[in-house]
Structure 1
Amino acid sequence: MDRPNLNYNQAQHQDRRDLQMQYRNLPGQTAFPGRPVIPGQPGQQVNFPVQTYQQQQPVYNTQHTQPLSQQISQQIPPASRNQNHSNNNTKQFTNGLNVNERRANVGTNAINKPQVGTPSASTNQKPKVVPAEPVSWQIPPGAQQQLSQVQQKLSQQIETLERRITENVFDTEAWLALLDELKEKGDTNKIRETYKSFTDKFPTVSRQWIEYLNFELSQDDKSKVQELYPKSFRYSISVELAKHYIENVRNQVEASIPPETDPIGSIISIYKYALNHVGLDIEAGIIWQDYLNFLNNLEPTDNILSELRDAYKQALKIPLNNIEEIWKSYKKNEKKLNLPNQQPIKKQQYDRISTVVKDLRRFTDKINKNVIPIPLKWTKSEIEQKHYLEKWIEWEKFNPLRLESVDLSKRIIFAYKKAMMYMRYYPKIWHDTAEYLISIGDEDWVSIKNKKIEAKALFGSFLGKEFKETKEEIAVNLLSTAIEIMPDSLMVNLRYAELKEHLNQNLYRNRDANRDAFQKAFCENFKIYESLLEIMNKKYEKIEQDIQAEIDALMKRHDAKETENTTYEDGETREIKRKKQIGLKNEISEIEERKKQQIDKIVSAGGVIWINLISFVRRVKGLEEARKLFYEKAAPSHLCTYNVYTEFASMNSKFAHKYVKNVRPAFGVGDNSPSGDDMKIFKLGLDQKELAENPNFVVEYLKFFIGKNDHINIHSVFEKYIQLIPPDKSKILWDIYCPYVYKYCTLFKIRNTEDRRRVIYPQESSIKRFADRFGLPDTSLLRNEVGTQLDHTTTTTAKVPAVVRNKKEVREPAAPERLALLKSVSQEAFIRPKMQSSWQLYDQSEVEKEQPTVTSVSVSGAPPEKIARYLATLPHSSNYKGPIINPNLLINAIIKNNNISIPTVRDRSPARTEGRGRVRQTETFGKQRGGSAPKRRRRDYDGEDEDSSDRGGGPGINRPPEFDLFRARQAKRARGH
């Protein structure tokens, strides 16, 4: 026989039954899991009498968990309960909202499982149920030990999930898994605490609010449910949450109101409360339809018809998914709704709304409504979510519904609230919402404010208890909430501080009237900037600690490997260690470089905060307090960027004429009036090496002197810092300095500056510099004359055409008349070659006569194999830090200098003589010590024969150097000098 169903207490015996099922399916057990097995006889089936089995079962008063409304209704006398439920008017709600179906969509969890010990109607105490001991065949041997192991494993999983949440509070997977594990364990208090923590951290997620409410309903805690509904609606404007509210609260009202009391007014209030929160949602059509059906089924009194007409007017102004059904319902009841003095709703309005619905769904259908908002990482889904939300808001502002300004403002605010709900950690949404609230017209604001119930539902948690705030104060409350969510957001904090300052403007102006209030308001504003600086400092220190910890761990691993083999060291071992040290330094550099971007971002943010804080202090308390703040707090801070020095110097120069007191600045920069302190502010920053090597700071320093028309300091600053900053970063200095030279300096200075820049940046186009020099900022006449050449970077060397008919047609460009000054970037790293008389002038004209005409040359083609192999062995051009020499200019300068005699050295072109082999053709050496030419014994230079590389040849042993001082002296002596 099949085993009957056991009705054990679920909270105590759920895991035991799971173990029992697992035990039956173990190897060696019976193949029929529904039949008991006698220990010691595996596989043997035993049949127990049904009557004996039933006598062994404990008797329970079991009942499935019922909705709260049904539990309350059971306590009402039968007569009154029948009277309440006989009213057909109060039962129309179930046409669209099914209670059981709604709860089934929430999810399966422990709160929907059967509960044991339901209170009876005659007593308030729950019966004490003592479960009987199971017989031997029901629990196999060792099952109790296995049960404890399962419970221990479950506890370990809960601890692991809690640890994950502690490490990362935005680990949503850990949150949801923890809730499931706690439901499985059945710990009521822990479930309630976890739901509270989750909804506090993620208050906009409607699904977990519904689960939380269902849990409290299962615990029959009415006060908790009444507390949770208003809190959930303040943060989550969800249609599903509104349906859940209507369903449960309406059932409670119907069950608790005495029979002589009419519940229609209370039910209408329930619908209005929900529709005030979510009625503008495109998916709220099901609630509107149920509300209209409820009103249509009531007795058509004047009040009911008035409510019904207002409901139809409101619903047919909203683009709803089921707008067509609502319009059909209106047409069906049009006769009883329209009064002689009222105009009916026009079909044109319905046609416009139905057309707009399709357009609106292009955005709303693509929004992920089940998302749990976390700090943005800008994944693809987050970017799409942002895109469609912003498109929706832009669509609402365009007003395709042709609404009046008040109704339009309500829809736009509702769209902003939905955006803040789905992207809670996006600062721009909060900032734009505050800006829109401030931009609402005064008349529209009064109209919105007069309807307090609707306004409280519209603005939610951003209102005070009495709703006495202005639109600026509500914007401040909104930004204050945003700061609690995103305390490190610059956009939100700075806008919040600015609005607070604006609200206290009258108090700041009349500071003498109430000094205490003035100081309090000033401290509140100052605290906003100060708190933001503390956050940035903590982030900065955290990143430095992470860098140091990562480097220490790397050093520890490296040291552990080094101590493994320290007994014997030879040359190879030392070389390996040297390479490991180089690799270690490279890894440390990679770690620091990886963190540098994060540090730069934080430091830049700190600079922005300091600038705004100093400006705020100057506006409220004057320049003296601002100077004191800069020298005592801002300048010593590691978050003080060069922008802080630049902006404060500009501020000091702008407002110094209003102050006459002498203030001694910090750091010993001198005792001067504020008007003479501008240059010392720059010098204070340039004394720091990191800022002195920043080209942007030096550019601001140059601009400062250009504005002062200080000719001497302009040139001195440029010449000083052009030597400290490498050429790849100093181009911005040239871009500022050269226009000044072009306008205000002599022609000799202009030519000198042009030559220096041409040498440092040979890739720049001279035509472009010429056009920039003689052009105007708003015209491009010179650029138009040269066509597209300005768009491409040209060099001093002409490009070789793709097809060359004759090599003689390719000519070198004309060299400039004077040689530019060459200066090495690193004079100590490279040795300059000596320009001595041993250099050889190479004339290719004779060789070109003997070579045939080239029919086609492809510049973009690959070089020959031998040349490519040689080029691969050369270091990269970025590794070269020496002087850049233009060979054409150098050779032309040597030719034009008549004092340099050009010696003729050994001619390396091959030639045959009457004797054997090849000999060198010489003009200078002549006869040497024997009157005969030197005999060739070995190849003296590499590449003498064309096929030498193929034979594996290379430089000979007796090859003389190309510039041998001894041989040069011998040649000089042979000439008789």
Structure 2
Amino acid sequence: MEATWTPVPESEGKKARADKADKADKKAASRLETLKAAVDAEPWLVDAWTDFVAEAIRSGGVDGARAAFDAVLAQFPTSAKHWIAYIEFEQQNKAFDRVEALFNRCLRSIVSVDIWRFYLTYIQAVHSPSAVPEEKRAESRQIVLKAFDLVLSNVGLDKDSGSIWLEYIAYIKAGTALTKYEEQQMMELQRKVYHKALSIPLSNIEQIWKDYDVFENSLNKLTARKFLSERSAGYMMARTAYRELKIITATIDAMQPTWLPTPTKWTETDFEVLRAWKKYIAWEKNNPLRIEDASVLSSRVVYAYKSALLMMRFFPELWHDAARYLIELGKLDDAAALLQQAVEALPRSLLLGFALAELEESRKKEAAVVSKVYETLITNLESWVSEINAKYDHERDTLMALLKKVEIARKRKLVQAKEAWSLAWIVYMRSARRSQSVLVARNLFKRARKSDLCTYHVYVAAALMEYYSSKDIKIACNIFEAGMKAFAEDQANAAGYIVHYLDFLIQMNDDNNARALFERALVLLSPEQARDIWALFFKNEVANGDLSNILKVERRMRDTYPGDADSALGIKHLGDRWSFLDIQFVAREELGLKGFMSLHSLDPLHIDAIAQPDLSKWTAYKPEARDKPLLPEKILVTAPIPVEPVHKLHQFKLPNPIATLLDRLPPASSYNGPQLPLDDVVDALTRLPVPTPISTGRMVLFPRVSDSMDRGGSSSRYDDRDRDRNRDRDRERDRERDRGGARSGGRHVDRYVGGGASSGKRKGGGYGSDEERHRKR
């Protein structure tokens, strides 16, 4: 079957091309914005400006390119190459009014041979014979000749202006003389230009001399010898001077093509170029050409200063030397104008500001003029202080933000290391108690508590070990109190430690000390830090207190946490009044806690403060067909989860919606979206106000507690040996009860109060055989 070709509709092709062009424009605009941000951040970075201007010309449009040129020239106003590039850009756009305006802005202030040569080329193009009518050609020729005179009067002393001198001579020679008088005038003008050029150390002076020799001999060989001999000495002196000048300015010539004036950093290159310019200026002052006319000599020195200031714009020393030279010549107005330019270039220079003020004072100017100089200088210095503060405030904020991240990471790692260190000591203490004695374990605890790495877990483990080993509540409480002194001021650990201490007192049925600890905790901790303590104390009151105490604690909780009334925590507190272990019927079924949390769990978050992913970079996931789900419908997981304030290991099942979601999620290998900063995500999650989980732990009875007292506890408070021993004892007691020969008469030891076992008193009976047998072991 032959393939058929279906032409794309023209409208669709145009749309595709338009979309492609739109994407290219957006990409170019984004790159231009990036480069602009780079030059704004580092305004003296020359390479960044070069890239920015090039990109603006390529993709910024006419207005964008003009804005880029204006910006770079505001930063580097003496950069000849950028002025020329700007003028060429306007010429290409045929904006001749702008071209002439740019020439007016730069010519008088910049003594650059390149700019003046470019101006001369522009004038010749505008007034060329082919561009003007025949009746105006004579007028156009006079304009061009005046342009040559103007150019050479400004940069004709430069050693690199030799090509302009030759062009001037060639242009004069190309003219047409209608009469003998005009021909004579042309020859006199050529001879005059030759004589001026041969007195200047130009780079092509030898070529000019050869052309002059040909010119004179072509007119009259008899007079040629006379004119050549008169100019020979000046030519030889100029040629020798050029050779010396070439050596002196070698460093300047090497740096000038790529040099842009930037604030002085006093690097070795800065010193090297400065020395070269000062050497060149001193050479001009020494008058190597033996110029007798003082005005001509001073013009050469002033030109040397002006040329130096194009490159060394930010060196106050050169400005000050140039002004002082003009003052010595008696040109006070010129010196004042130069110093005014200097303070505009270096508005914070004390040297230049003071020099200008003194010059104005010496010229007998009004006091207001002198005061203005000082006021302007002080204002500029004050703005400098503000800029310094703003710059270093920004850097400090950046460093502080980075330091904050480093500190968060350091604290997180330190917590892990300290917990590992503490766990090693706890296991060491357990091993010592099992294999040696409680006394050895106690000595290990004394060693551990002296270290700065010791966490409250070591104190809790030592206190519980003392109680379960010797049944001495007093020692355990002493250890807990020692921990209070060590961790009460530790905001990160105080709440967790007090929860364990309070839970121990509650288990010991020591209500007085439990209430006292609870009140101390409320003083030491902030309301947010004390949430777990409130929850534990309220749970104890609900289970074992009277109604008046329950209502009192409930009222105090409402006053402490007024915002919880309309939240899941408020509903949970209400449901906890009538709950037991994992039976949360009132909260779940009658108060709708489960649905409330699913709807309002994100209330505390501020979505605007969370970094949003770039959805344009996401690709749609197409799941592959598979016979069975990736994950089973329900998964049994064993992991440490939070349950009330007291933590324990617990088993739970994933709800069906979560299992279904995990089944539908794509595999990790298919993800190619943006990468989230994990440290920032973890840090944000740790600071979120997460509601208390709705779950309760499996009830674990305290050893030797009456069967009639059902309280929740933690099975992780004693080690494996104690648990096995208690289990064996309970089994033995059950067997004796079944035989009807229980020695204790059916009475069981209740919780200790006050002094514990040392008081010799128990609720509900005397000493039992179980306790005696346990002590003998």
TM bracket, shorter-chain basis: 0.3 to 0.5
